[in-house]
Structure 1
């Protein structure tokens, strides 16, 4: 069973988005540079063809990036809520937030929280403003922290 620490949840919230954005910005810079070089010497159509190909590829990647952003926006905001939830559990249990492990990167009903070597199932109310922890037992006792095996 995979469990995640609070540090892992905070660090991996936006890493993929940053990498994709950097790649798209780099491709846009290449399109601009090849466009200026083509304007300088209009007789070389090879630069124009390369520039058009890269521009089309960039717009396809940009469309995929926007689609992924809208799809992952809810999970991203849920991970912020999960960090607050972990801090709340740590305060109530009188432990450090770094000692709390959860088996999901988003806050939802039924996730498992582990601290003091005990497992608890989370039951959230309808508006996710309060929770109840119920002692539970897992079948698979092989625990992988941060999904690393």
Structure 2
């Protein structure tokens, strides 16, 4: 079972989105440069072709970004919810949030918490607005792995 630390959850919220923004910016700059070069030298058709190719790639990346926009928003919201849950659990256990780990990056019905004093199951009420911590014992065959922020 893999557990994720509070720092890991906070750092993983938006790191990978920067790569997409950088790729989009680089493609836009390359497209503008090829387009300017083509407009200066209209007889050199290779820059027109390169501009069309880069523009097509740019549109493709924009389409993928737009398609993933709702998924990114949902993921970001869920990660924000789980970090809030970690803070609440840490407060109930009278620990700093950095000492608490959870077994999921999204809020779900089978959430387990690893704290220095043991393992807990988070049991939510019907509408998911409140929860109860229940101490559990894991059997010795359970493999525990903790993912920490790098």
TM-score (norm 1): 0.91
Q: Note the 1:1-149 alignment, pairs <5 A.
A: 1-139=1-139, 140-146=141-147
- Checking the alignment, whether the CA contact within 8 Å between 1:108 and 1:124 is kept in structure 2 is no
Paired residues, number: 148
TM-score (norm 2): 0.90
d(CA) in 2 for partners of 1:126, 1:15: 33
Query: C-alpha deviations, 1:67-123, integer Å up to 9, x for none?
Result: 222123212101111111111111111111111000111112211111024111212
- Checking the alignment, whether the CA contact within 8 Å between 1:102 and 1:113 is kept in structure 2 is yes
Give the superposed CA RMSD.
Answer: 1.7
Q: Where do 5+ consecutive residues of structure 1 fail to align?
A: none
Q: Where do 5+ consecutive residues of structure 2 fail to align?
A: none
Displacement of 1:141: 3.0
d(CA) in 1 for partners of 2:148, 2:138: 16
d(CA) in 1 for partners of 2:129, 2:95: 21
d(CA) in 1 for partners of 2:148, 2:86: 18
State which drifts further: 123-132 or 33-42.
123-132
